């Protein structure tokens, strides 16, 4: 899956260039950690740093907000540095030094007095104190240790396959990604049960269920959170996510989409009623989408004369790249886009935080299947039409 890696800030940093080559699970967290710069006293944070071996220089803090990254810098004097600001909700952040761009500390900034200490010659080894979210993050990381090791091993295999242009292996490893996600969700479920009053629990729900999930997956976890966590910015984002999932559940009528074709002609999804329709979300820059396209072409050619068509929504921003991908991949079906990338209105409307993604609609426009790829798509169409 491909997430809007640059927007999905945690993936942009942690998703390790390798995941950026794989499926991106978009910026689910983009919505999650919106941090308007307000001056409320209970939103104030202070970060005090103390480095034993690094006595001078500059340190940079990047706090990832709604659709942008907010950066600040501090002079290291005698091994100490300081940052202050406001964050109404815990925000994923990265501390770095310009001289060591790959040497980063990832942590959460929240409204608290946070202390960062250590030698300073290896930023990832710095310790973060005074923050409940970061304390709980350590607990969750420990529980996820085995899954993380599996994910890292899979990423290394993917890097090699990507370098070798071995599409078959990349496809198989995409499936492993989904298995990794399933295991993460098991760990997160137990973590939420153990720590219902932790903001890290809410963050973990959003991180791991903001794509390829259903309201029925999320609601039991959400209901375990304490009222104060449910009423937080993150808790409200989870509730909004569940509401969206409910609107595009199997059995529901697919919400209307009206976007423009490559020749700038508006085309509505509802205009295709009377046929089975695959509502496909993709982009020219999405590697897994492009690898999936030949399989969709096969399905389309098999069933296009039996009452099946495709309405594809592209998350591109460059029209010429979009058109070239359509031509190169020989996509002969309906193509639309507003060329707004992840800001496409369907991202919120359908809860699309990862691509490729799809919805199969019946002749009345009702959703009958979701995220079916490869042979599964052909099997479902055969079941419906033969």
Q: Where in the chain is the domain with CATH 3.40.30.10?
A: 258-385
Does 52 score more than 50 pLDDT?
A: yes
Percent of the chain exceeding pLDDT 70 equals: 88
Cross-sheet strand order for the sheet of 367-370: 334-336, 308-314, 276-282, 357-361, 367-370
Q: Which CATH superfamily is domain 33-128 in?
A: Immunoglobulins (2.60.40.10)
Residue 33 is predicted with a pLDDT of: 37
**Model pLDDT, residue 13:** 38
SS3 label, residue 347: helix
Return the beta strands (E) in 10-159 as ranges: 44-51, 56-64, 69-77, 80-86, 91-97, 100-109, 113-118, 127-129
**CA of 133: how far to CAs of 66, 229, 239, 251, in Å?**
19, 12, 20, 39
pLDDT value for 30: 37
Q: What is the mean pLDDT of residues 251-256?
A: 98
Decide: residue 363, CB within 10 A, 0-12 exposed, 13-18 middle, 19+ buried.
Answer: middle
The structure tokens listed for 346 are 């369907």
Pair 4, 343: CB distance under 8 Å: no
Q: Would the pLDDT of 10 be above 60?
A: no
**Residue at token pair 């599409």:** 167
Q: Report pLDDT for 1.
A: 64
Listed range (7-21, 92-106, 298-312) with the worst mean pLDDT: 7-21
Residue 83 pLDDT > 50, yes or no?
Answer: yes
Rounded Cα distance, 88 and 161, in Å = 42
Averaged pLDDT for residues 204-228: 96
Q: Which pLDDT does position 41 carry in this prediction?
A: 44
Confidence of residue 21 (pLDDT cuts 50, 70, 90): very low
Q: Which of 34-48, 65-79, 355-369 has the lowest mean pLDDT?
A: 34-48
The band of 286, judged by pLDDT with boundaries at 50, 70 and 90, is very high
- Give CATH 2.60.40.10 domain extents, the chain: 33-128
Q: Is the pLDDT of residue 263 over 80?
A: yes
pLDDT computed for residue 2 by the predictor = 59
pLDDT, position 80: 97
Predicted confidence band at 67 (pLDDT cuts at 50, 70, 90)?
low
For Cα atoms 375, 285, 261, give the angle at the middle one, nearest 5 degrees: 85
Q: pLDDT band for position 19 (50/70/90)? A: very low
* Distance, CA of 16 to CA of 10 (rounded, Å): 10
* pLDDT exceeds cutoff 90 at 352: yes
Q: Band of the pLDDT at 198, cuts 50, 70, 90?
A: very high
pLDDT at 66: 59
Mean pLDDT, the chain, rounded, equals 89
Q: What is the pLDDT of residue 38?
A: 35
Q: What is the DSSP string of 233-279?
A: HHHHHHHHHHHHHHHTSTTSBPPP-EEE-TTS-EEEGGGGTTSEEEE
Please give the model's pTM, rounded to 2 decimal places: 0.86
> Is the predicted pLDDT of residue 27 greater than 90, yes or no?
no
As a three-state string, the secondary structure of 301-336 is HHHHHHCEEEEEEECCCCHHHHHHHHHHCCCCCEEE
Secondary-structure class of domain 258-385 per CATH: alpha beta
pLDDT of 134 strictly over 90: yes
Q: How many CB atoms lie within 10 A of CB 288?
A: 22
Residue 22: predicted pLDDT: 44
Average pLDDT score over residue span 117-122: 94
Q: 13-17, 63-67, 249-253, 284-288: which has the minimum mean pLDDT?
A: 13-17
Give the residue-averaged pLDDT of 194-210: 96
Taking only the tens place, the pLDDT of each residue in 153-192 is 998 998 998 899 888 888 888 888 889 999 999 999 999 9
Look up tokens 């308007």; give the residue.
36
Q: Rounded mean pLDDT of 54-78?
A: 89
User: Would you place residue 42 in the very low, low, confident or very high pLDDT band (cuts 50, 70, 90)?
Assistant: low
């Amino acid at each position: 899956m491909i997430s809007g890696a640059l927007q999905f800030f945690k993936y942009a940093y942690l998703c390790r260039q390798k995941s950026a080559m794989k499926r991106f699970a978009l910026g689910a967290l983009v919505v999650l950690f919106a941090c308007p710069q307000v001056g409320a006293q209970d939103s104030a944070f202070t970060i005090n740093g103390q480095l034993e071996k690094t006595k001078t220089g500059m340190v940079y803090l990047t706090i990832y907000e709604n659709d942008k990254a907010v950066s600040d810098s501090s002079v290291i004097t005698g091994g100490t540095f300081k940052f202050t600001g406001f964050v109404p909700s815990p925000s994923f952040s990265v501390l770095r030094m310009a001289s060591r761009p790959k040497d980063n500390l990832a942590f959460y900034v929240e409204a608290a007095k946070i202390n960062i200490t250590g030698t300073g010659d290896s930023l990832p080894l710095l310790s973060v104190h005074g923050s409940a979210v970061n304390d709980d993050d350590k607990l969750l990381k420990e529980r996820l240790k085995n899954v993380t090791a599996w994910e890292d091993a899979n990423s290394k295999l993917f890097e090699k396959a990507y370098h070798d242009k071995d599409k078959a292996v990349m496809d198989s490893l995409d499936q492993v990604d989904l298995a990794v996600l399933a295991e993460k969700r098991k760990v997160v479920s137990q973590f939420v049960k153990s720590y219902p009053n932790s903001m890290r629990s809410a963050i973990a729900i959003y991180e791991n269920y903001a794509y390829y999930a259903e309201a029925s997956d999320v609601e039991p976890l959400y209901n375990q959170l304490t009222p104060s966590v449910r009423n937080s910015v993150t808790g409200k984002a989870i509730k909004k996510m569940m509401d969206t999932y409910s609107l595009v559940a199997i059995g529901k009528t697919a919400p209307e989409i009206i976007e423009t074709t490559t020749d700038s002609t508006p085309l509505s999804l509802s205009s295709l009623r009377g046929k089975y329709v695959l509502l496909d979300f993709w982009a020219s820059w999405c590697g897994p989408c492009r690898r999936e396209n030949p399989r969709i072409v096969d399905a389309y050619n098999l069933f296009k004369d039996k009452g099946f068509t495709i309405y594809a929504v592209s998350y591109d921003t460059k029209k010429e790249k979009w058109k070239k991908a359509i031509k190169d991949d020989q996509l002969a079906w309906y193509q639309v886009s507003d060329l707004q990338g992840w800001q496409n209105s369907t991202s919120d409307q359908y809860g699309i935080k990862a691509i490729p993604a799809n919805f199969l609609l019946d002749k009345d426009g009702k959703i009958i299947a979701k995220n079916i790829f490869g042979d599964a798509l052909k099997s479902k169409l055969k079941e419906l039409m033969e």
